Structure 1
Amino acid sequence: MDTLIVGAGFAGATCARRLADAGHPVRVIDKRPHIAGNAYDRPNEHGLLVHEYGPHIFHTNSDKVVDFLSRFTAWRPYEHRVLAVPDAASGEAYPMPINRRTINALYGLDLDEAGVAAFLERVREPREPLRSSEDVVLNSVGRDLCERFFRGYTRKQWGLDLAELSAGVAARIPTRCNDDDRYFTDRFQAMPQDGYTRMFARLLDHPRIQVETGVAYDPARHAAERLIFTGPIDEYYGHRHGRLPYRSLRFEHEHRTDCDRFQPVGTVNYPNDHAYTRITEFKHLTGQVHGGTALVREYPCDDGEPYYPIPRPANEALFKRYQALAEAETQVHFIGRLAQYRYYNMDQVVAAALALCERLLQPSAAALEAA
């Protein structure tokens, strides 16, 4: 069976390779002029590798995902660290997620782990049930830390207050009583040695895979026995039930020649000041040695390419109407952050794509056994 895959990001490329390895011809199209989706990276005019669509930090606890992607890249170990500057006037930066060092530095204390746990227990505002992200944050760290680190950042990032977002958004950010300042704690944390685009090029390098970039999906022109769609599900159905809300981003890239290191960690958040949410310096991520340095500032916005499904109950209810349409399809399959309206990490997208292909290949395996 020939397969058309719309989108050459993690979901589409993973499906393409898995199906091609199983003997199926695959055609991949993407409306952008490049492969790798939002993970696309490129050398800037000074030779520094930059992530065109903001930082992509790979981390996972899935051996299956690591084993699959390791066929196409070597890895550079990297543990991401983030600082937050709640008051730009003071310029003081604190570890994020909140940990013992954050609490002690912010309040001039000298607490041990037990002391931090007791402090948080005193300041937290118990909430039950945890329906919104505001409930999650107040239940965990209380009002002052919420206002300093979370509420302003959320308003910029999502265009909504914490109280308007589902609980799962804030639940992604832990609070720690020890000094662990890593943003992620997954067993595997690393960056593709040669960058994401090189990894995708190897992933899609197969005689049964045909890739076309700069090609938008047109159902009248792109017929196939089987379709795997990784774009916005509401777009596929012509927005017949209304548009699903997505949050977009605008990126401001900058190359600095006046310094070789701009900030002490990969990403610095600005929860309450400036129109941007964060600044990322790529040399921390890539390990490149260079006389200058490359930065990107992120400005969340409503209009533009869809990046984030907006997790709130009304949006989930609207998605369910599109999901019902999708479940009635027999040869059209929806996979990925936009198609499934889920706030997936990269490894979760790969895992979901591999699982979809296993389901699609089961009939083929059964047919081979019968033969």
Structure 2
Amino acid sequence: MRVAVPRTLITGAGFAGSVVARELADAGRKVHLIDRRSHIAGNAFDEHDLHGVQIHRYGPHIFHTNSERVWTYLSRFTEWHPYEHRVRGVVNGKHYPFPINRDTLNQLYGLDLDEEGAAAFLDRVREPRDPVQSSEDVVLNSVGRDLYEKFFLNYTRKQWGVEPSELKAGVAARIPVRTNTDDRYFTDTFQAMPLHGYTKMFENMLDHPNITVELGVEFSEVRQRAGFGHVVYTGPIDAYFDYRFGRLPYRSLRFEHEHLPGVEQFQPVGTVNYPNDHAYTRITEFKHLKGQQHSGTSIVREYPQAEGDPYYPIPNDENEALFKQYQALAEVEPGVSFVGRLAEYRYYNMDQVVGAALVAAQRLLGQLAPQI
């Protein structure tokens, strides 16, 4: 006699939810994937705007990873367009390579340093901090006061809404400082953009007879239905528990998209940071990301804000302590797995989310009742 196994309900059709859905489906499990938005792909959702330029609705998503496993996994669902992201930071109206490298120092200070000279310069200007506890400590310990104030201080204030001294060290530690002239933002082994876009990659990932997708619905509506077994939850963990201990702070963003007809290229690289000017933090020009040819160009300005959809968990000790309270509840919540940036309150990159989702899926498959 064949026993029907309840479908797994997965909430959130971004990287975490979609990867778990595909892994369970490949293992023979029936999955019902939902999202409150009207589209799949989460914040990585891309589309062609009214002028035919492929844009990222929720700001630039640049794929990079050192994980061959993650790269190989995603390559099942997409071909790739090679792309190495480059960023410039504007200081006093001039563009400089960012992250800071030897060219940044030479152009900013009118110097002619070689690699050894750049290392000696940074060693002279740095302000040693021991222990290194905050983002401010990381930067001052690495590049000193002047570069900190020119490139980091005000950008951090805009991006996070707090002082760098109030953020954990890991936030600033994500940004390297180089004594060579490598001006790539990332140095990962694998750097590329999905050839036909993230949305198409997600469509391929979710194209499986064991996966059904329902969009434009809230988790609270769907979870009441019969026929679901385990739940994989990728939304904000505090929302799941009805904010029992209060709301976890997140940083949100507002995106101002603009098409510039007749402008073939607006800026020299994909992203330009504005640490000290304007209310926005950066401008991204999308044509750089895929090498798209078009008579005009489309850009997006990013305005960080406190209210709105949660994008970035704010990493400090107070917030971490609050998260630990929710995590304790999650660990004993029966029949639910919490996966992803919002559910784990972690500032994950895309590849880290994929890696965590693959691990979570394998763990879940080991826990679920066997398919009969």
- 1:213-245 Cα deviation digits (max 9, x unpaired): 101111652452100000000000000010000
Matched, 1:202 2:204: yes
Gaps of 5+ in 2: none
Gaps of 5+ in 1: none
* Corresponding position of 2:87: 82
Question: Which one of 66, 73, 88 corresponds to residue 68 of structure 1?
Answer: 73
Q: Secondary structure at the residue paired with 1:247?
A: strand
Alpha-carbon shift at residue 14 of structure 1 (Å): 0.3
* Corresponding position of 1:274: 278
* Corresponding position of 1:344: 348
Question: Which one of 121, 126, 133 corresponds to residue 135 of structure 2?
Answer: 133
Within a 5 Å distance, the mapping from 1:272-311 to structure 2 comes to: 272-311=276-315
Distance 1:240 1:362 in 2: 31
Q: Secondary structure at the residue paired with 2:302?
A: strand
Q: Secondary structure at the residue paired with 1:235?
A: helix
* Corresponding position of 2:42: 37
Alpha-carbon shift at residue 331 of structure 1 (Å): 1.3
* Corresponding position of 2:95: 93
Relative distance call for 1:222 and 1:234 in structure 2 (3 A) is farther
Within a 5 Å distance, the mapping from 1:181-330 to structure 2 comes to: 181-218=183-220, 221-222=224-225, 224-330=228-334
Question: Which one of 94, 104, 108 corresponds to residue 110 of structure 2?
Answer: 108
Distance 2:312 2:130 in 1: 27
**Which amino acid is 2:29 matched to?**
H
Within a 5 Å distance, the mapping from 1:152-191 to structure 2 comes to: 152-191=154-193
Distance 1:317 1:251 in 2: 31
Question: Which one of 334, 356, 361 corresponds to residue 338 of structure 2?
Answer: 334
Question: Which one of 125, 146, 157 corresponds to residue 123 of structure 1?
Answer: 125
Distance 2:45 2:321 in 1: 32
Matched, 1:22 2:24: no
Q: Secondary structure at the residue paired with 1:80?
A: coil
Q: Secondary structure at the residue paired with 1:27?
A: strand
Alpha-carbon shift at residue 212 of structure 1 (Å): 0.6
- 1:180-229 Cα deviation digits (max 9, x unpaired): 00000100000000000000011111000000110111165245210000
**Which amino acid is 2:252 matched to?**
S
TM-score (norm 2): 0.96
Distance 2:20 2:8 in 1: 10
Q: Secondary structure at the residue paired with 2:217?
A: coil
Alpha-carbon shift at residue 86 of structure 1 (Å): 2.0
Q: Secondary structure at the residue paired with 2:94?
A: coil
Q: Secondary structure at the residue paired with 1:85?
A: strand
Question: Which one of 121, 146, 149 corresponds to residue 147 of structure 1?
Answer: 149
- 1:37-93 Cα deviation digits (max 9, x unpaired): 000000000111000000000000111111111111000000000000022xxx210
Relative distance call for 1:164 and 1:363 in structure 2 (3 A) is closer
Alpha-carbon shift at residue 362 of structure 1 (Å): 2.4
Distance 1:27 1:240 in 2: 27
**Which amino acid is 2:31 matched to?**
V
Relative distance call for 1:364 and 1:242 in structure 2 (3 A) is closer
Q: Secondary structure at the residue paired with 2:145?
A: helix
CA RMSD of aligned residues (A): 1.3
**Which amino acid is 2:209 matched to?**
P
Alpha-carbon shift at residue 363 of structure 1 (Å): 4.5
Distance 1:324 1:289 in 2: 51
Distance 1:272 1:346 in 2: 28
TM-score (norm 1): 0.97
